[in-house]
Amino acid sequence: MKTLADEEVAAFREQGYLVKRDVFDDAEIDHLRSGYDYITSLVEQGGIDEQYLKSAGPEVHIHLQAPAGTPAADSIRFLRKVQWPSMLHPAFEEIRTSAKFSGLLEPLIGTSLKQFINQINFKMPGGDISFPWHQDIRPTPAFREQESNYVQTIIVVDEATVANGCLHIVPESHNLGNLKVDRYAEGQIEDHVDVSRAIPLEAVPGDVVLFTSYTVHGSTVNTTSRPRRSYINGFVRASACDVGKWAFHEGVPIPITSDHDYHRIRA
């Protein structure tokens, strides 16, 4: 099982991010892609209950950035993200609780972990989807010292390149702390951070990007003819968080739970 060497932990603390190569194998990535195919089929068929499209439901949010009147069959290119996909397809749940995550994160935040973010991102061709500069601050008083107790992870599902809108990160920007800016607000991050220092994190399927909640990052649109998809899981040291869903207890995976029945996602 892959874990982080001492020098990798030091680099993460110093730079605010790390790219760990070749963590998940081809079979695991293909399994994830089956989950993405299921999600896109839901969108293409249409008829999804409005509560899931408007983030009015308890957990799952299917975020479509489609112009008004776009037919369901054409709306897939405007699919931006889905929150808590582990509630919808077992592939996402199996990877979310993979022992590989426990091994990677132990040197950073221990083996008893809760989860704040479970999300899949899409950049489909022609969708004009971007994620402007931002931090992943968790604004809750129930979350203590997140600068050292939270790690955001991104599994690369499709090859990530500059052309298809790979993640860009500003090294050492986490040292500035919480910038207290509006999320995705144009120009506000630039008032505090020299974003010209940002570097592209090109990566291949199976690689995992790790960064802190204070690390400034963003990405541009996909200009290619192929999709770029990624799987995001944000983990927090359990002793530092009073809310959220469990992921691991002393290294043992905890299945995801919900009081809601997601078998009936269509209206």
What does CATH list as the number for 6-253? 2.60.120.620
Residue spans per domain, the chain: 6-253
Calpha distance 241→148 (Å, rounded) = 12
Question: In this structure, are residues 123 and 228 in contact, taking their beta carbons and an 8 Å threshold?
Answer: yes
Question: In this structure, are residues 129 and 65 in contact, taking their beta carbons and an 8 Å threshold?
Answer: yes
Instruction: Give the model confidence (pLDDT) of 58-70 as tens digits.
Output: 899 999 988 888 8
Instruction: Give the model confidence (pLDDT) of 144-194 as tens digits.
Output: 999 899 999 999 999 999 999 999 999 999 999 998 887 777 779 989 999
Calpha distance 179→101 (Å, rounded) = 28
4 vs 141: which has the higher pLDDT: 4
**Three-class DSSP category at 72:** helix
Which of 72-86, 178-192, 199-213, 249-263 has maximum average pLDDT? 199-213
Predicted confidence (pLDDT) at residue 267 exceeds the cutoff of 70: no
DSSP symbols for 86-148? GGT-HHHHHHHT-HHHHHHHHHHH-S-EEEEEEEEEEE-TTS---EEEE------TTB--HHH
Q: Which amino acid is at 11?
A: A
